Amino acid sequence: MMKDHHVYLDYAASTPVDSRVVESMLPYFSQIYGNSSSAHHHGRQAEAALERARERVAGALNCMPEEIVFTSCGSESDNLALRGAALAAHQQRNAKRILITPVEHHAVSHTAAQLQELLGFEVEFMPVDAHGMLQVEQAARMLNLDTALVSAIYANNEIGTINPIAELGRLCRERGIPFHSDAVQAGAYLPLDVQKLNVDLMSLGAHKFYGPKGVGVLYIRRGTSLLPHLTGGSQEMGLRAGTHNIPYIVGLAEALTLAQSEREARGQTLRALRDELIHQVLTHIPDASLTGHPQERLPNHASFVFAGVDGNKLLIALDIEGFSCSSGSACKTGDPKPSGVLLALGLPPAVALGSLRITLGSNTTAADLERLIPVLVGTVERLRQLENASPVA
Amino acid sequence: MNASKRVVVAMSGGVDSSVAAILLKEAGFEVIGMMLRLWSEGGKNAANRCCAPDAMVKARRVAAMLDIPFYVIDAQEAFYQTVVSAFIDGYTRGITPNPCLTCNRQIRWGVLLEHARAFSADYFATGHYARKMTGEEGDHQLWRARDEHKDQSYVLHVLNQADLAQSLFPLGDLTKSEVRQIAAEHKLPVADRKDSQDLCFLAGKDYRDFLRRNAPATVRPGPILDQDGEVLGQHDGLAFYTIGQRKGLGLSTPEPRYVLAKDSTQNALLVGAKEQQGATRLEAEHANWIAGKFPEGDFQAWVKIRYKAAPARCTITPLDEARFQACFQHPLIDITPGQAAVVYRGEQCLGGGIITSSQS
């Protein structure tokens, strides 16, 4: 209500559902509503939609339909991949090391931490550079017979850096170590050909690429051992029990197909806007730096740190001025903790607190960003004065 | 007429601040709700009474109903460094501090007001019962609330002209029952919490337990003396007694004995008979005069020596920039160093200071 036109610049958090996707979903609420596991006519209708969706997703990822498992979200896919592959590796070859990067989404890092705390796995971190990019050569030296699983994020949610996962995947493949990648942020903008990416497991969530919230995918290369973590019926090859959410699965397939077919065009438009945004911010705001890789980053993604600024206050101030943005440490309850990802880049905690993430998408216009710049410049300046004046900083 | 004016409302999820937000919204302000996240003894999971998780949910719901943005501002560290540490330090020094005053000065009209200014707010509003008036010279004045049972000007006497210039107290002209009625009319999902004397940051109910856990230096036994200096017994630490207290002294004197004063230099608790209680003079320091000017010469006034005390007639004598003396017509039995002596002339709150001593 704040402003007549509140600008959304948080597409990495979620995206509006594409109208074509909504259209594709609609028949599956009230017209085709059977349970895909039922043997009758209505069940077969639903099952047909499910398997059609699976084929479309397989087409987008260049894999076989039976390698696709539908889940409730990207986080669930990450959980299934890590827990499932780690438990299987432990059961089959008594391997207990899990390698991840220090810039993983919590869906990966917290799952790994739980495996360490409860089940005796050892979590080790592959090194990243100051841009948050995985150092493959150093990571390669950490691979051994005791490695149960390797997981590396494809494109980072906070800083946008794209990792060379295909290289790491190849090294894992040579050694017979299952390799997972969290591709949730990559889904909208990066190639997802699992053959070229050398992944054995890959997670996606539909709402990051203009699909609905509440549905995700885990790609599981044939031959990759996984123990189920949601047990019950035999849906999804017994890996993920639970009645299929047909309308959402259909929506995911449509959204993913659109995202991959329109990928180049979407990326080009946003990259131009994004590059101009970064240029303007770095030109007009002193003591501002880009976080993440300057080139190898998601085309819609700009992330910064502003020295001497409290990122939470910055978000509030921008919201009040009519811009919905994000920060690595954003938290509704106001608990100020620097982001673990930014600390992993080597930023001091005080600097990491001044983070801002601006992610563009389908409705972003050059005019929106032109309006943002003076607001951002003024807000950062005002907040810096506040920090300096504060008696109880 | 207030269409372009932006106001930050300090929201607690309770009925008062929620109604304050409603009234401002209806008056045409651009209203922004904010809540502070404060330090609590038990760590993150313990609920500070001023910002418990359920209160946060309530405040969010009220904000959503009013279609106003709502933000939580972290002040845990600042709250601990100012309010809690001053509380511990005060009790350790043998006085009875009032943390709500420190909180209003340093946190509400400190951290929160600074945020409001950073977000370009024109005003900062709270659900306090008090009135802001304008004097003949255009000065900002603090007046008692119309509902004298709810008046909270006592805890607001720490404000200065700059604070008041930006402050709004939308409830100042309303009674509590009128406020409740407005809440009911708007079907507000607010908690009608009982007014509590408990301090918001205690994990338990008793400040004494808090001190034992967090300020072990206050557990310092010493003598209980009568006015002749005779030892009548032993106390557990001055912090665990209040002026005027009779019960729990563990004395076996034939007549009841009351705490008259605390002598922190001797670490002694001074007690006496009922008729020995009372003092007619107090001295206060860290004076804040809301007008921003130090009063010249003696003047007649009314002073409240505690939040809930009745105003007592007295003569105020300014001693220097930061100190004053109040001489009462009738003795008061519970003048307590560390509490505020707040000065009124009629309905107007002139300011106040922290009591340092009392004399008969």
**% pLDDT > 90, chain A:** 87
Q: What pLDDT is stored for residue A330 in this prediction?
A: 46
Q: Closest to B74 (Cβ–Cβ): which among A2, A334, A389?
A: A334
Annotated domain spans of chain A: 7-15+263-389, 19-261
Q: How far apart are CA A228 and CA A182, in angstroms?
A: 18
Closest alpha carbon within chain A to B51:
A333
| A389 band by pLDDT with thresholds 50, 70 and 90 | low
Cβ-based contacts under 8 A for chains A and B: 56
Cβ-count burial B160-197 (b if 16+ within 10 Å, e if not): beebbebbbbbbbebbbeebbebbeebebebbeeeeee
H helices present in chain B, as ranges:
15-26, 53-66, 76-79, 85-92, 99-102, 113-118, 153-156, 161-166, 176-185, 207-214
> A375 — contact with chain B (CB < 8 Å)?
no
Indicate if B26 and B106 belong to the same structural domain.
yes
CATH of the domain at B102: 3.40.50.620
**More confidently predicted of A387 and B277:** B277
Candidates A85, A112, B134, B57; CA nearest to A126 is A112
Convert the pLDDT of each residue in A308-342 to its tens digit: 998 988 999 999 999 999 986 445 555 667 888 99
Strand pairing class (B348-359; B279-289): antiparallel
Contact: B56, A392; criterion CB under 8 Å: no
Place of tokens 């969530």: A205
Contact: B37, A313; criterion CB under 8 Å: no
CATH of the domain at B227: 2.30.30.280
Complex ipTM value: 0.80
Contact: A335, B117; criterion CB under 8 Å: no
3-state secondary structure of A239: coil
In what helix (H) or strand (E) does residue B350 lie, and over which residues does it extend? Answer: strand B348-359
B101 lies in which domain range? 6-127+170-185
What is the pTM for the complete model shown?
0.86
The architecture CATH gives domain A7-15+263-389: Alpha-Beta Complex (3.90)
Q: Which two tokens stand for residue A246?
A: 């047909």
Domain count, chain B: 3
How high does pLDDT run on average in chain A? Answer: 94
**Residue B1 included in any domain:** no
**Residue B155 included in any domain:** no
Candidates B170, B178, B159; CA nearest to B22 is B170
| A307 band by pLDDT with thresholds 50, 70 and 90 | very high
Q: What pLDDT is stored for residue A221 in this prediction?
A: 97
Q: What pLDDT is stored for residue B199 in this prediction?
A: 81
**Residue B195 included in any domain:** no
Candidates B184, B35, B25, B183; CA nearest to B116 is B35
3-state secondary structure of B174: coil
Q: How far apart are CA A246 and CA A248, in angstroms?
A: 5
3-state secondary structure of B352: strand
C-beta of residue B141 within 8 angstroms of C-beta of residue B341: no
Indicate if B239 and B315 belong to the same structural domain.
no
Q: What pLDDT is stored for residue B48 in this prediction?
A: 67
3-state secondary structure of B92: helix
B interface mutation test: which of A2, A310, A320 has the most B CBs within 10 A? Answer: A320
3-state secondary structure of A303: strand
Enzyme catalytic residues of B? 103, 200
Q: What pLDDT is stored for residue A240 in this prediction?
A: 92
A321: distance to nearest CA of chain B, Å? Answer: 9
**More confidently predicted of A146 and B41:** A146
Q: How far apart are CA B249 and CA B270, in angstroms?
A: 11
Enzyme catalytic residues of A? 331
Least confident of A8-12, A96-100, A251-255, B114-118: B114-118
Per-residue pLDDT of chain B (360 residues; tens, 9 = 90+): 556 899 999 998 889 999 999 999 999 999 999 999 888 887 655 566 666 667 888 899 999 999 999 999 989 999 999 999 999 999 999 899 999 999 999 999 999 999 999 899 999 999 999 999 999 999 999 999 999 999 999 999 999 999 999 999 999 999 999 999 999 999 887 655 655 556 888 877 788 999 999 999 999 999 999 989 999 999 999 999 999 999 889 888 888 999 999 998 999 999 999 888 989 999 999 999 999 988 889 999 999 999 999 999 999 999 998 999 999 999 999 999 999 999 999 999 999 999 999 987
Convert the pLDDT of each residue in A192-210 to its tens digit: 999 999 999 999 999 999 9
Q: What pLDDT is stored for residue B195 in this prediction?
A: 57
The mean pLDDT value for A25-38 works out to 97
Contact: B110, A382; criterion CB under 8 Å: no
Candidates B357, B338, B342, B332; CA nearest to B307 is B342
Q: Widest CA span of chain A, in angstroms?
A: 72
Indicate if B108 and B56 belong to the same structural domain.
yes
Indicate if B46 and B121 belong to the same structural domain.
yes
What is the separation of C-alpha B242 from the centre of its chain, rounded to a whole number of angstroms?
Answer: 17
Closest alpha carbon within chain B to A336:
B74
CATH of the domain at B318: 2.40.30.10
**Residue B206 included in any domain:** no
> A4 — contact with chain B (CB < 8 Å)?
no
Q: How far apart are CA A33 and CA A291, in angstroms?
A: 46
CATH number of A19-261: 3.40.640.10
